[in-house]
Amino acid sequence: MGKSRLEAFSDGVIAILITIMVLELKTPNGADWDALRVTLPHLLSYVLSFVFLGIYWNNHHHMLQATHRINGTILWANLHLLFWLSLVPAATAWMGEHVHEAVPTAVYGIVLLLSGVAYFVLQRRIIAQEGPDSDLARAVGSDVKGKLSPVLYALAIGLSFINPAFADGIFVLVALIWLVPDPRIEARISSRASE
């Protein structure tokens, strides 16, 4: 089964998610800098979620590039990932309205945690299909980032009840860890192409 429609559909959904978050940026009440300043927490939440969705699109792009065939299970594992990602805009809007409050920050962390788990499951299903000697399997390797992120998200969820600012700091940290596109897969594809 070809992977092109899976890529196209995922691109579509992620492109829409990353864009409709803008609709939550309410027009400021007033026409001065103060009115704009009130929307700053919304804007910062938006930036954070934009980066997270960008990271998912980027990694999804890399992973699918190293994928040769898909099956029905992979289709559903992909839809499962898109489901959790689809909750990011709602979680972002809630956190944007209630910065420095425990529950919205924790819920934002839960959505990120479950998105990460769904990505991990999708990766497992694709590797199961591609085989343990596939480019993808070797490129993913021990997957330190993929295993570290859920731990950090869980930590952030817990810390948001102590001080939501700690959780925010961890979210930024995880984003920074992932912001570099995965050199392992890119390197392996390049080395293959030049063999």
**Contact footprint for a second copy (CB under 8 A):** 1-2, 5, 7-9, 11-20, 22-25, 27-28, 31-33, 35-36, 47, 50, 54, 57-58, 61, 65, 71-73, 75-76, 79, 82-83, 86-87, 89-90, 93-94, 97-98, 101-104, 107, 179-181, 183, 186, 189
What is the DSSP-derived secondary structure letter of residue 124? H
* Helix, strand, coil distribution of the chain in percent, nearest 5: 80, 0, 20
Taking the least distance from each CB to a second copy, the nearer of 54 and 150 is 54
Closest CA to 50 of 180, 149, 179, 148: 179
Can you say whether residue 194 is alpha, beta or left, with left for phi > 0 and alpha for psi between -120 and 50 degrees? alpha
Paired tokens of 3: 């992977």
Cα 123 from Cα 130, distance rounded (Å): 10
Cα 195 from Cα 189, distance rounded (Å): 10
Taking the least distance from each CB to a second copy, the nearer of 151 and 172 is 172
The least CB distance from residue 152 to a second copy, in Å, is 21
Taking the least distance from each CB to a second copy, the nearer of 76 and 151 is 76
Paired tokens of 174: 């995880």
User: Which 3 state secondary structure label does DSSP give 104?
Assistant: helix
Taking the least distance from each CB to a second copy, the nearer of 41 and 151 is 41
Taking the least distance from each CB to a second copy, the nearer of 11 and 143 is 11
The least CB distance from residue 144 to a second copy, in Å, is 18
The least CB distance from residue 93 to a second copy, in Å, is 5
Contact predicate 40/162, CB 8 Å: no
